[in-house]
Amino acid sequence: MHAVRDFFAFIGRLGIGIVLIAHGWQKLVDYGMGAVADSFAQMNIPLPQLSAWFTALVELVGGAFLILGLLLPLVGILIAVVMAGAVFFVHLPHGIFSPEGFELPLIIGVAALALGFNGGRWSIDHGLFGRRRSTPTEPEPSGT
Contact status, residue 104 vs residue 98, Cβ threshold 8 Å: yes
Distance of alpha carbon 100 from alpha carbon 17, whole angstroms: 21
Give the number of C-alpha atoms closer than 13 A to the C-alpha of residue 105, restricted to the C-beta side: 24
Least confidently predicted of 14-18, 69-73, 138-142 = 138-142
Is the per-residue pLDDT at 140 higher than 60? no
Distance of alpha carbon 60 from alpha carbon 100, whole angstroms: 22
Contact status, residue 55 vs residue 28, Cβ threshold 8 Å: no
Q: Name the phi and psi angles at 27, rounded to 5.
A: -70, -45
Is the per-residue pLDDT at 42 higher than 50? yes
Distance of alpha carbon 40 from alpha carbon 53, whole angstroms: 11
pLDDT band at 134 (very low <50, low <70, confident <90, very high): very low
Percentages helix, strand, coil for the chain (3-state, rounded to 5) are 75, 0, 25
Is the per-residue pLDDT at 138 higher than 80? no
Q: What percent of the chain has pLDDT over 70?
A: 90
Which of 47, 48, 73, 78 is CA-nearest to residue 61?
Answer: 78
Q: What local confidence, expressed as pLDDT, does residue 62 receive?
A: 98
For 6-31, write each residue's pLDDT tens digit.
999 999 999 999 999 999 999 999 99
pLDDT band at 1 (very low <50, low <70, confident <90, very high): confident
Q: What local confidence, expressed as pLDDT, does residue 130 receive?
A: 81
